[in-house]
Amino acid sequence: MAAAHAIVFCPEGDRLPESAESWLVNLGHTVDRLTDSSDLIDRCSRSEPRIVIFDGRRSAGIVADVITRLKADAYTAVIPSLVFTGRGDEAVGQAFDAGADEVVPENCPAVQAIARLTATLRRSDRDVQVHPTTRLPGAVEIDAEISRRMAGNIAFAACYADMDFFKEFNDRYSYNQGDRVIRIAARILHDVVRGLCGRAGFVGHIGGDDFIFVIPIEDIAAVCGEIINVFDTLTPFQYSEEDRRAGYFLGKDRRGQEHRVPLMSISIGVVTTERRRFSHAAQVSALATEMKSYAKTLPGSVYSIDRRHDNPRAEDSRTSGPIRLLERAALDRGRPE
């Protein structure tokens, strides 16, 4: 992974205000200083600078044009941009109108300038670490949360939730309706986990219809059971009345053959630290994925808990072997009463 770096764009070749220069030094990143707008666009397109700081005190028009070009490209638009401008509301307004994420006028006190620089990075880090559809934490934050609990020796259950027959629903009702269902699922997970676990619960969105939530082990049955209950109650109303009454709709497989597609359900694979020890988040993710895949082989909305030990000798000899162990996990699957 490339080292983090910042870019300073000064068309006139000037130095930034002393407070900003000191802030850059304390940031500890490599700093690229550029004066050519084409060079800046090229650098931002090829790399991922942590921040771009523009000096628009003497070149407001040039800076505004470059920012507009950066923000017009989806890849470079997410790069946080801060502009030092001349005095006056007009200069500040021009920078914001161009798409700047933050503006520091020339008469801004040094303490406030540093606060704005720091806030720009904080907002950027928050925005890129959440999923744009649900605003839930993404993969980076999910791994960080799992790692934090492992480092603190905190017992936990990692639960991988995935909607069944979501792709078929999306194909029939449009991606717009599909996104709506994803937002509904995210709200269900968030509200149930927060409501039952408080601060001890965490909900993240991997992408698509895949979610991870991390909860105390003792809350598995209550949380997963409630999620299933609410999901199965609300999901049928996302279908047309005809499909809802039938309990299915006719879809086509890859060969063009018609078949019945059931209404969506939710499958949850659960992994805990009760009988296993993990050294990094990727191990948790891999095992949760395995349990989720197993849960999806079972009909309807269900959660399946991994009950296997790290040490095979700890298992009953009658349940030895991966197939037997997963069959045993099926005994721990949960359904609403």
Is residue 118 located within the same domain as residue 44?
yes
What is the pLDDT at residue 73? 86
What is the pLDDT at residue 127? 75
Is residue 324 located within the same domain as residue 192?
yes
pLDDT at 295 over 70: yes
Express each pLDDT in 149-163 by its tens digit.
Answer: 999 999 999 999 999
Rounded to the nearest integer, the mean pLDDT of the chain is 89
What is the pLDDT at residue 254? 73
Can you tell me the mean pLDDT for 27-52? 92
Work out whether strand 51-56 and strand 102-105 pair parallel, antiparallel, or are unpaired. unpaired
Which of these, 268, 269, 251, 247, lies nearest to 259 by C-alpha position?
A: 251
The DSSP code sequence of 293-317 is HHHTTSSSSEEEE----SSGGGS-G
115: in domain = yes
Phi, psi of 7 (to 5 degrees): -120, 135
**Checking phi first, is residue 165 left (phi over 0); if not, alpha (psi -120 to 50) or beta?**
left
Is residue 117 located within the same domain as residue 154?
no
pLDDT over 90 for what percent of the chain? 73
Domain carrying residue 190: 139-331
Question: Inter-axis angle of helices 175-197 and 220-234, to 10 degrees?
Answer: 150
Express each pLDDT in 93-152 by its tens digit.
Answer: 999 999 999 999 988 999 999 999 999 998 888 777 777 778 888 888 999 999 999 999
pLDDT at 314 over 60: no
Express each pLDDT in 78-91 by its tens digit.
Answer: 899 999 998 888 98
The span from the CA of 239 to the CA of 172, in Å, is: 10
134: in domain = no
Is residue 166 located within the same domain as residue 245?
yes
218: in domain = yes
What is the pLDDT at residue 257? 82
pLDDT at 335 over 60: no
133: in domain = no
Is residue 111 located within the same domain as residue 178?
no
Number of domains in the chain: 2
Is residue 155 located within the same domain as residue 73?
no
What is the pLDDT at residue 282? 94
